[in-house]
């Protein structure tokens, strides 16, 4: 039989046994979470290879972006369902607007409409709840809530429009240089398809937006689509009027067998003239635009400096007369 003293000794060992068990479990958990190199070894590897840290950070950012994109793609169809276009015409307009801004994926329309619906709901619930809790339920708070909901509803449209205008400006500024390079390639004996491929390859670093658009057109040509359709879609997809006119000129030159190099040179000269005209127009508008900062910020300071001492002298001389009267 086990004596009472031995039982007491065993009971005193129970806390120690529990401590050892929990310590071993914690050690195993930390070792499992580390699951590889220690932090010291990783730091030594980073010192040996400085680019490894930047690469790992970029990969982590890409993983987070991919996860966020997948979450948006899953949630956007249900959110965008109330705002889905009713016919193919509206759907085509939506896709064209997003393509002009650079969003060409299949889920871009659903994500865009999902953002609009989420902004509307957030404006009504969060903004409306905050405003009504601060100002009470009255006509003014309802108007502010509706205005906030409308602002959040149309905010994605404003962002897409801003991105589209930036892309249009980048393409417009890059077109004359791209056409000059294309003329050189065509006159050297390359065909139009090979010239577009060469331009996309050479201008990828300097004019990334236009190079990407040419790369998409080259891919479509390689897939077997007709050149006229590809060029027409290039002009529509970018939304730049100069590129649409260039596409029309190239389609006509290809159809009637005229010189493509001459058509490209003529189009490049006209684009350069238009770009210089736009620069002159902006320079002429500068004088008118300077009126507002001059009147609001510069003229008051000049007025105070010039008229201030005379006004102070007049007040000092007239104040005794006013006081005596």
CA dihedral 149, 64, 209, 151 (to 10 degrees): 10
φ, ψ at 259 (rounded to 5°) = -75, 120
What number is the average pLDDT over the span 293-305? 84
Instruction: Tell me the backbone φ, ψ of residue 6, rounded to 5 degrees.
Output: -65, -35
Please write the tens of the pLDDT for every residue from 194-209. Answer: 888 888 888 888 888 8
| Region of poorest pLDDT, from 120-124, 185-189, 195-199 | 120-124
pLDDT at 101: 83
Share of the chain above pLDDT 70, in %: 70
Kind plus residue range of the DSSP H or E element containing 211: helix 208-222
- 55 or 62, which is more confident: 55
Q: Cβ distance 60 to 93 under 8 Å?
A: no
Q: Highest-confidence range of 17-26, 64-73, 124-133, by mean pLDDT? A: 124-133
Residue 66, both tokens: 């991919």
Mean residue pLDDT of the chain comes to: 75
- Specify the range with the lowest mean pLDDT, choosing from 79-93, 158-172, 211-225, 287-301: 79-93
The token pair that represents 203 in the structure block: 């201008």
For position 24, what pLDDT does the model report? Answer: 67
Per-residue model confidence (pLDDT) at position 325: 44
- Report the alpha-carbon distance of residue 233 to residue 227 in Å, rounded: 10
Residues 11-50 have pLDDT tens digits of 555 566 656 765 666 666 555 555 445 555 566 666 666 5
Would the pLDDT of 130 be above 50? yes
Which residue in this structure is represented by tokens 């001459």? 262
- The pTM score is 0.61
For residue 69, the model assigns a pLDDT of: 52
- What does the alpha-carbon distance between residue 294 and residue 109 come to, in Å, rounded to a whole number? 45
pLDDT at 233 exceeding the cut of 80 = yes
Q: Residue 119: is its pLDDT beyond 70?
A: yes
Rounded to whole angstroms, the Cα distance separating 252 from 258 reads: 8
For the cut 70, the answer to whether the pLDDT of residue 76 exceeds it is no
pLDDT score at 193: 81
């Amino acid at each position: 039989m086990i004596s009472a003293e031995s039982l007491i000794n065993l009971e005193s060992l129970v806390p120690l046994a529990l401590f050892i068990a929990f310590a071993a479990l914690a050690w195993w958990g930390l070792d499992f979470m580390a699951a590889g190199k220690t932090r010291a070894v990783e730091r030594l590897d980073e010192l040996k290879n400085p680019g490894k840290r930047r690469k790992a950070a970029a990969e982590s950012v890409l993983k987070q972006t991919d996860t966020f994109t997948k979450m948006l793609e899953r949630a956007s169809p249900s959110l965008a369902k109330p705002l889905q276009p009713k016919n193919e015409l509206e759907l085509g307009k939506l896709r064209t607007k997003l393509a002009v801004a650079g969003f060409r994926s299949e889920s871009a329309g659903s994500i865009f409409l999902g953002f609009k619906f989420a902004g509307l709901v957030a404006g009504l619930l969060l903004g409306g709840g905050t405003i009504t809790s601060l100002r009470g339920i009255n006509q003014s708070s309802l108007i502010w809530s509706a205005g906030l909901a409308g602002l959040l509803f149309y905010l994605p449209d404003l962002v897409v429009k801003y991105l589209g205008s930036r892309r249009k400006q980048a393409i417009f500024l890059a077109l004359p240089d791209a056409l000059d390079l294309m003329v050189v390639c065509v006159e050297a004996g390359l065909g139009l398809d090979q010239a577009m491929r060469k331009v996309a390859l050479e201008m990828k670093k300097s004019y990334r937006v236009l190079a990407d658009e040419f790369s998409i057109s080259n891919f479509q040509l390689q897939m077997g689509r007709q050149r006229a359709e590809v060029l027409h879609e290039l002009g529509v997809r970018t939304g730049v009027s100069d590129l649409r006119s260039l596409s029309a000129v190239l389609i006509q030159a290809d159809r009637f067998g005229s010189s493509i190099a001459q058509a490209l040179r003529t189009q490049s000269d006209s684009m350069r003239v238009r770009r210089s005209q736009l620069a002159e127009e902006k320079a002429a508008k500068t004088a008118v635009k300077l009126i507002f900062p001059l009147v609001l910020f510069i003229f008051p300071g000049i007025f105070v400096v010039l008229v201030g001492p005379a006004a102070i002298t007049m007040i000092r001389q007239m104040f005794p007369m006013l006081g005596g009267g």
